[in-house]
Structure 1
Amino acid sequence: MGKILCVAEKPSIAKAVANHLAPAQAQDVRGLAWLKNYVFDYNFGRTWGASNVVFTSVAGHIKSTEFDQRYRSWNSCNPSQLFDAPIVNYVENDKKVIARNIEEQARSAQVLFIWTDCDREGEHIGTEIRDIALKINPRLEVKRAKFSNIERAHVISAAKNPVPLDEKQANAVAARIELDLRLGAAFTRMQTLALKPMIDRVQELKVISYGSCQFPTLGFVVDRYFRVKNFVPETFWYIKVTHKKEGISVNFNWKRGHLFDRMAVTVLFERCLMAKMAKVIKVQKKPTSKWKPLPLTTVELQKMGSRFLRMDSQRVMKIAEELYTKGWISYPRTETDQFDKGIDLKQIIEKQQQDGVWGPFAQGLMNGGFKQPRNGPHNDQAHPPIHPVNYVVGVQLNDEERRVYEFVVRRFLACCSEDAKGEATDIEISYGDEIFRTHGLIVLARNYLDVYPYDKWESSQQLPQFSVGETFVPTEAKMFDGETTAPGYLTEPELISLMDANGIGTDATMAEHIAKIKERTYVMTRLKGGGRNGGGDGNIEATSTGTRGARGGRGRGRGGRGGRGGGNSGSRQGGNRNGGVQEFIPTTLGVALIEGYDKVGFETSLSKPFLRKEMELQMKAICAGTTTRNDVVHQNLEKYREVFVRTTQQINVLKAVSLGQ
């Protein structure tokens, strides 16, 4: 009977997997220091047969990457030398006991079976484990388990279907680690040594750090800040028609929306009044649907969590990791929004039937209401979308765990339901050669909305019967004016969306980059809508057509001259629903850093996402095998070196901005 050494990425996973594989409870044999090694026998079938298993763990990365000793002191060299300074990989003191435990167990093993998370970072940690073990026992066969949750059936399947480590993914992480070290150290030392003596007069800082993801993230916040600060409202004018029929008052909105030329709107409005009669030119009733949500990805979990669960994205991910470790949900770091057809989704739904809140909905899905989830455009070929693995009674979870778990369950059940169904009515009228229209909606079947309260779709007031060719004298026609409103400050869901769209960080690291700019006091946060310049609804940014108390003008009907009118479609809505969302406002230091680099004058500023986005695409190219780690590292160092040289040549520009000159 051969010996197989299994190594997980964290102690909790080692314990959970060992207890699934062991015929009885796995024997806990204490390893070195705090480490636990679980010993049991297991039959791996055709792969390795009956074997003696020692299951242990690491605690994330074992090795660190650092500059050679003579370059570690801030005064040891010019920061520019860090682009080429030799670097070393070594086991830090607090990880040496982990390395020694692997060495001891590997010495007598025939197989090293790695159980790290199935993502790029997990592959790299797997290579660290492998290198330590092979140094002691070069004859080891090395495999890895491919798993995305720690449900027993899934673990057993992974145990009997080992795969090789993915060297390409590990190389992509190694390239990213080297670039982050060199670029972060060079720019951080340069700007801290140059700016800290001046900034310390106002704000005591240990370091003014730079990161190739950190700065574009800050850049998004500062860019929105200036759009708010520099916003100049513009007055616009629009026409609104109201008609009462069958006891129902119907508002018809101008097809043009609004115009910024008062005289032009006045002329058009006069034509409407002179025409007197309005004519119905279109009546259309048609079935409509509100699509159910796509399967849940990490980015979507972070955005929805920060919007609806009253916690920031970093906290959401921490809670999700804990739920995964405890075996309640699948691996929470995934880009995939497609369920593999081989996954038994009904088996997952079946476990949720016992819940007192969403259990009846789950029963309805099992009794014929199940529909295959929609397929999104992303598949990382590593993990399924985030979904519940087991049912857990709410009292077993703390409040934050319960909220995240409930969201994951409700999202999954919604994915397996039907789209909401309704009937939409669109009516258009011609009045003085101008077109006005109204829209009505009747929700006929809520379907997924019954379990997914995070989406809203409500019936509007039922419209009276109109027929094409019908004419009428509008009850009221009025001309209003209003002002465009500034966009709100950037919220966390919006920031995550911008980072995702521009390739800043991965789904696994976005929350960390946001936390870093807060930690460095480059930004501060507050609840959305707080303060004098509090933000409006995110939709305003796209249209810039919010109104600030639209004012009534000349009109026909009971409104008359000077009556107060309502706002147009750009008005803010849903404020209460977004009440817990945080918005970001840059500090003086955050603004100074971004403005300084922008004014240095290179074509691609460090505050913009383009350099980092290109780097992230190159990481994916390493994974695909179309480029190499060395090529990516060399190309990016040359690009950033050019920026570094130019910055040092114009460091006085950066200093002047930081001093507010």
Structure 2
Amino acid sequence: MVRVLCVAEKPSISKAITGILSGGQFTTRNTGSNFIKNYDFDYPRTNARFTVTCVAGHLTERRFDDAHNKWHSCDPFALFEAPIVTTIPNDKKAIETNLRSEARNAQTLMIWTDCDREGEHIGMEIVQVCRRSNPQIVVKRARFSAIIAAQIHNAAQNPVELDRAQADAVEARTILDLRLGAAFSRLQTFNLQARFPQQIQELVSYGPCQFPTLGFVVARYEQVQAFVPEPFWYIYMSLTRPLSSDEGDEVVEFTWKRGNIFEHGVAFVIYEGVMRDPLARVTKVTRKETKKWCPLPLTTVELQKSGNRLLRLAPKKILDIAEKLYQEGFLSYPRTETDQFDPQFDFQSLIAKQTADPAWGAFATRLQGDGFQAPRKGKNNDNAHPPIHPTAYAGQLVGDEKRVYEFITRRFLACCSKDAEGWMTIIDVVAGGEDLNSQCFVSLGLVVLERNYLEVYTYDKWTGKTVPEFEEGDEFMPTVCELKEGRTTSPSLLTEADLVGLMDKNGIGTDATIAQHIQTIIDRKYVMARNEGATKYLVPSTLGIGLVEGYNKIGFERSLSKPQLRRETERMMVQVCQGQRTKGEMLAESIEKYQDVYVRARGQFNQIYEVCSS
């Protein structure tokens, strides 16, 4: 019987895998770590004896050698090429010992880490440790997206190869971020503490994702500060009609097609033309079916954006909750860029699990009949994980966990439903005696016929609006026809949901790390949260503004506070994953670019002094 050593990324996953594969029949052994157990059982489906254990995230850490590791040990520029040492920290030594001990007696090592880039890299760390005691061990990779029986058994019986290219990409990024973060953090901290010893006494950290993230916040803040409202003018038209005695009057508003005009004289001339013959004539009545489309399947980025906007939770907290629910078997893997389900996806078995819920169970039941419609397909597919969806019913959750699970479940059920259907009426009118665009108005009416997905996805709104029965050629005298003045409104400060969208659009971080970068600039006090009603806005601190404006004043072709440099790094990571570029090539090219930026920043650091002093 083949002995297989299975290694998961976390204790909760190893325990869940064991419960599924063993059918509950296993023995437990303690290890040198209080948090990690070894589970042993026979797995007849592959004629193997399984031992399931785990690590606790990354096994190794990287630091500079002793000649460069201490803060004042060298010129920060030397860190771009200083030797890097890979070690296993003391709190992971017991895990290392357990892996080496278990690997000695195993013929196969099966990696069960999370199925993403970080998981591939952690898997490679596990391989390196196990091969120190068993160089001949055969390495396999279990690939799964949810802690459910069908997927876990399939992964155990059909393992694949570990993706070394993805592991290389993560290692290259880790080394690059260590070099850049240390070099620029020391540069900033040494210079600013020396110049402002009373004001700046803590670390002034730099991160290649952290600073473009800060740059977005500062840029929006400066737009808001520089905003000067402008007056504009528009023609407002409405018609008031009496209804029955107990219903009052009906006011029908018509929107001016010309929109807002920023020159009063021009607007007044048009208004005078309308008022010379204010009788309004209906030029066209359009009646047609309309739809409100059900939402696309849920990605990690969309979960963070919608969760922040609708649930008022920080993106990092949303991801932390989703990760916990995944480990408990309630959700699929919550880190995915895919917004389209595979055509063979088993929707009905998952929908059936939701029929017991008192809030959405009846809707789920209808989806088992003619209420079901295959979800729309988005444009993204990472070919690794399906969109985020519930994998089991979780009726006992409370607090924020319940809210996050409910949002994901309602989203999934809405995706599997039909679009909302309605009947739209468009009434085009002209006033002023001439059929000119500047004198045309429109009123829209809507009757919602079938709410469909809106019944379960309570976060979307679609409200009907009645309009009178008009026919082409009808004429009426408007009750109100006025030239009104308005003023442009300032753009709002960024919310966390806005920032997630900007980072995703500009390639800053990955879907799984965006939330952490936002949290980092808050923790570093470069950005503060300001609550205005139920909305939390992001406001840069004086230091945050000083750093970004200072680097911008230096006039880099690719500033440290702009997204271009990091976007190029992320693009090269993808090329490493696809085998188009090696880890060494990525590091060499990226380091050369940042060395040039560092030299220029060091030479013109007085620009940052000036901004921070003002």
Could you state the TM-score of these two structures normalised by the residue count of structure 1? 0.90
Structure 1 partner of 2:417: 417
1:171, CA displacement in angstroms?
0.9
Structure 2 partner of 1:37: 38
Amino acid at match of 2:483: M
Match of 2:372 among 370, 373, 381: 370
Structure 2 partner of 1:75: 72
In the TM superposition, 1:457-476 aligns within 5 A as 457-460=462-465, 462-476=466-480
Structure 1 partner of 2:138: 141
Match of 2:544 among 590, 593, 606: 590
Q: Distance in 1 between matches of 2:329 and 2:384?
A: 18
| Mapped contact 2:193–2:200 kept (Cα < 8 A) | no
Secondary structure, in 3 states, of the residue corresponding to 1:582? Answer: strand
- Partner deviation per Cα, 1:59-100 (whole Å, 9 max, x = no partner): 000011211221101111111111111112111111111111
Amino acid at match of 2:37: K
1:472, CA displacement in angstroms?
2.3
Structure 1 partner of 2:454: 449
The 10-residue stretch of structure 1 (154-163 or 467-476) with the greater mean CA deviation from structure 2? 467-476
Structure 1 partner of 2:21: 21
- Partner deviation per Cα, 1:93-112 (whole Å, 9 max, x = no partner): 11111111100000111000
Structure 1 partner of 2:309: 307
1:220, CA displacement in angstroms?
0.5
Structure 2 partner of 1:534: none
Structure 2 partner of 1:573: none
Secondary structure, in 3 states, of the residue corresponding to 2:489? Answer: coil
- Partner deviation per Cα, 1:150-182 (whole Å, 9 max, x = no partner): 111211111101000001111110111011001
In the TM superposition, 1:568-579 aligns within 5 A as none
| Mapped contact 2:298–2:387 kept (Cα < 8 A) | yes
In the TM superposition, 1:228-247 aligns within 5 A as 228-245=224-241, 247=243
1:2, CA displacement in angstroms?
2.1
Secondary structure, in 3 states, of the residue corresponding to 1:52? Answer: strand
Amino acid at match of 2:220: R
Structure 1 partner of 2:223: 227
Secondary structure, in 3 states, of the residue corresponding to 2:534? Answer: coil
1:241, CA displacement in angstroms?
1.1
Q: Distance in 1 between matches of 2:31 and 2:74?
A: 42
The 10-residue stretch of structure 1 (579-588 or 231-240) with the greater mean CA deviation from structure 2? 579-588
Structure 1 partner of 2:154: 157
Q: 1:11 to 1:439 in 2, by over 3 A?
A: same
Structure 2 partner of 1:215: 211
Q: Distance in 1 between matches of 2:238 and 2:65?
A: 76
| Mapped contact 2:192–2:200 kept (Cα < 8 A) | no
Match of 1:525 among 526, 529, 538: 529
| Mapped contact 2:63–2:86 kept (Cα < 8 A) | yes
Amino acid at match of 1:523: V
Q: Distance in 1 between matches of 2:369 and 2:383?
A: 31
In the TM superposition, 1:634-653 aligns within 5 A as 634-653=588-607
| Gap regions ≥5 residues in structure 1 | 531-578
Match of 1:326 among 320, 325, 328: 328
Match of 1:254 among 240, 253, 256: 256
Q: Does 1:500 align with 2:504?
A: yes
Structure 2 partner of 1:9: 9
Secondary structure, in 3 states, of the residue corresponding to 2:369? Answer: helix
Secondary structure, in 3 states, of the residue corresponding to 2:336? Answer: coil
Q: Distance in 1 between matches of 2:232 and 2:527?
A: 34
| Mapped contact 1:492–1:581 kept (Cα < 8 A) | no
| Mapped contact 2:213–2:503 kept (Cα < 8 A) | yes
Q: Distance in 1 between matches of 2:79 and 2:551?
A: 20
Structure 2 partner of 1:510: 514
1:200, CA displacement in angstroms?
4.4
Q: Distance in 2 between matches of 1:142 and 1:44?
A: 19
Structure 2 partner of 1:487: 491
Q: Does 1:438 align with 2:434?
A: no
- Partner deviation per Cα, 1:624-647 (whole Å, 9 max, x = no partner): 111111111111111111110001
Q: Distance in 2 between matches of 1:246 and 1:630?
A: 77
Q: Distance in 2 between matches of 1:628 and 1:134?
A: 24
Secondary structure, in 3 states, of the residue corresponding to 1:386? Answer: coil
Q: Distance in 2 between matches of 1:480 and 1:83?
A: 62
1:44, CA displacement in angstroms?
4.2
Amino acid at match of 1:518: I
Structure 2 partner of 1:119: 116
Match of 2:535 among 562, 570, 581: 581
| Mapped contact 1:307–1:580 kept (Cα < 8 A) | no
Q: Distance in 2 between matches of 1:82 and 1:252?
A: 66
Amino acid at match of 1:227: Q
Q: Does 1:346 align with 2:348?
A: yes
Amino acid at match of 1:397: L
Q: How many residues align?
A: 602
Structure 2 partner of 1:273: 275
| Mapped contact 1:330–1:387 kept (Cα < 8 A) | yes
Amino acid at match of 1:9: E
Q: Distance in 1 between matches of 2:498 and 2:424?
A: 30
Q: Distance in 2 between matches of 1:308 and 1:580?
A: 10
Secondary structure, in 3 states, of the residue corresponding to 2:388? Answer: coil
- Partner deviation per Cα, 1:13-44 (whole Å, 9 max, x = no partner): 00000111114332111122322100111124
Q: Does 1:401 align with 2:401?
A: yes
Structure 2 partner of 1:183: 180
Amino acid at match of 2:98: N
| Mapped contact 2:18–2:24 kept (Cα < 8 A) | no
- Partner deviation per Cα, 1:90-144 (whole Å, 9 max, x = no partner): 1111111111110000011100000000000000000000011112111100001
Structure 1 partner of 2:561: 607
Match of 1:87 among 84, 88, 105: 84
| Mapped contact 2:547–2:608 kept (Cα < 8 A) | yes
Q: Distance in 2 between matches of 1:659 and 1:24?
A: 66
The 10-residue stretch of structure 1 (304-313 or 320-329) with the greater mean CA deviation from structure 2? 304-313
1:246, CA displacement in angstroms?
6.2
1:349, CA displacement in angstroms?
0.2
Secondary structure, in 3 states, of the residue corresponding to 1:654? Answer: helix
1:199, CA displacement in angstroms?
4.1
Q: Distance in 2 between matches of 1:33 and 1:176?
A: 30
Q: Distance in 1 between matches of 2:23 and 2:266?
A: 83
Give the root-mean-square deviation of aligned CA atoms. Answer: 1.2
- Partner deviation per Cα, 1:383-410 (whole Å, 9 max, x = no partner): 11110101121xx323111111111110
| Mapped contact 1:429–1:437 kept (Cα < 8 A) | yes
| Mapped contact 1:308–1:580 kept (Cα < 8 A) | no
Structure 1 partner of 2:427: 427
Secondary structure, in 3 states, of the residue corresponding to 2:510? Answer: coil
The 10-residue stretch of structure 1 (451-460 or 114-123) with the greater mean CA deviation from structure 2? 451-460
Q: Distance in 2 between matches of 1:503 and 1:371?
A: 33
Q: Distance in 2 between matches of 1:603 and 1:136?
A: 50
Q: Distance in 2 between matches of 1:472 and 1:363?
A: 50
Amino acid at match of 2:154: S
| Gap regions ≥5 residues in structure 2 | 244-249
1:245, CA displacement in angstroms?
4.3
Could you state the TM-score of these two structures normalised by the residue count of structure 2? 0.96
